[in-house]
Amino acid sequence: MSDNLPMKADEAAVKRLGEVCPVMDFSTGAQLMSVEQQEILLEERDRRRQFFIKWVFAKLQRGVHYGDVAKGTVVDNPEYRYRPDLYKAGALYLCDLLDLKPAFETDFGAWEMAGKPQGIFFRKCTLHTTSGIKCGEGAGAYAVKDVGVRKNRENAALKLGDKSALVAAVLNGVPYLSDLFHQDSRDVKGRLTLAERRQALVQHVQEQLVERKSKWGDSVEAWIKTAWASFSGSETKKMNTPGAVDAFEKALEEGKIDWNTGKVA
């Protein structure tokens, strides 16, 4: 709307309302407006939503910030619409872009409701704006037994619980995101096929190469091929069983493979 054009009465009323309360807040007086005024308000809401979605996908990179781990899942519902998983890297990047500060704590309430089980970390993530206003919250839990046999299992389970809580908080707290993305499903190994496990591994390696600023850069498949050959001791052996994927993931998590060289340390 040009500032040089005369403003209609309904548009002026919406403008005055917008100066008092956010356009996004439909509950604050908007329902008392006329249908014509609501139409203007809701059209602005739609434009904001469309712009925000376009902005999100312009910023996030597929395979680094979000991806298709659970795409092969069969859902018996013709109206089901697939949503990619939001990764920890994507949740942290959105927090940085939107100036949101995540804080983590033990979720004692969830732990008590679950019967106070031992060996499970219940975590809560709360998002705050730079001015200290709470704008989102999410919960996550991870069992030590699900981490596998490795060193520092408790620390690994704690971090995985924090990751789940962070992604949940971002999806819950940032408008529209829950309609675009799904909770990261890479931790739920029992629900994934071998192909999905392999794809999850590729995405995990890609994240790690970026975070660790490896000289391999985006050469994910080449790194995995080199690292697997070094780990298995064979240039021809394939990573074609769940046990092989488990063993390779365990070697990565225990730091047995160098991220810069792709060789067994």
- Quote the pTM value: 0.59
* pLDDT class of 7 with cuts at 50, 70, 90: very low
Percent of the chain with pLDDT over 90: 29
Rounded Cα distance between 88 and 150, Å, is: 22
Structure tokens, 53: 């979605």
- 147-156 average pLDDT score: 69
- Could you tell me the maximum CA-CA distance found in the chain, to the nearest angstrom? 77
Q: Provide the residue type at 264 as one letter.
A: V
> Looking at residue 170, what is its pLDDT?
95
Structure tokens, 163: 């990751």
> Looking at residue 147, what is its pLDDT?
67
| 75 or 179: which leads in pLDDT | 179
pLDDT single digits (tens) 12-28: 544 444 444 444 455 55
- 159-164 average pLDDT score: 89
Q: Provide the residue type at 9 as one letter.
A: A
Q: Provide the residue type at 92 as one letter.
A: L
**Domain positions in the chain:** 35-185, 193-265
Residues in a beta bridge with 128: 101, 134
Q: How many residues does the chain have?
A: 265
Structure tokens, 175: 């408008």
Percent of the chain with pLDDT over 70: 74
Cα angle, residue 180 at apex, residues 175 and 183 outer, rounded to 5°: 95
- 187-213 average pLDDT score: 69
* pLDDT class of 3 with cuts at 50, 70, 90: very low
230 has a pLDDT exceeding 50: yes
Other CB atoms within a 10 A radius of the CB of residue 261 amount to 15
Give the burial string for 213-232 (b: 16+ CB within 10 Å, else e): ebebeeebeebbebbbbbbb
Q: Give the strand pairing for 120-128 and 134-143.
A: antiparallel
| 33 or 163: which leads in pLDDT | 163
> Looking at residue 148, what is its pLDDT?
57
What's the mean pLDDT when you consider all of the chain?
Answer: 78
> Looking at residue 168, what is its pLDDT?
92
pLDDT single digits (tens) 52-76: 999 999 999 988 898 865 444 433 4
Other CB atoms within a 10 A radius of the CB of residue 70 amount to 22
- 233: CB partners within 8 A, 6+ apart: none
> Looking at residue 263, what is its pLDDT?
92
Rounded Cα distance between 118 and 221, Å, is: 39
Rounded Cα distance between 265 and 258, Å, is: 6
> Looking at residue 191, what is its pLDDT?
46
Nearest CA to 228 out of 208, 256, 207 is that of 256
pLDDT single digits (tens) 95-127: 999 999 999 999 998 888 888 888 889 999 999
Q: Are 103 and 126 in contact (CB under 8 A)?
A: yes
Q: Are 142 and 121 in contact (CB under 8 A)?
A: yes
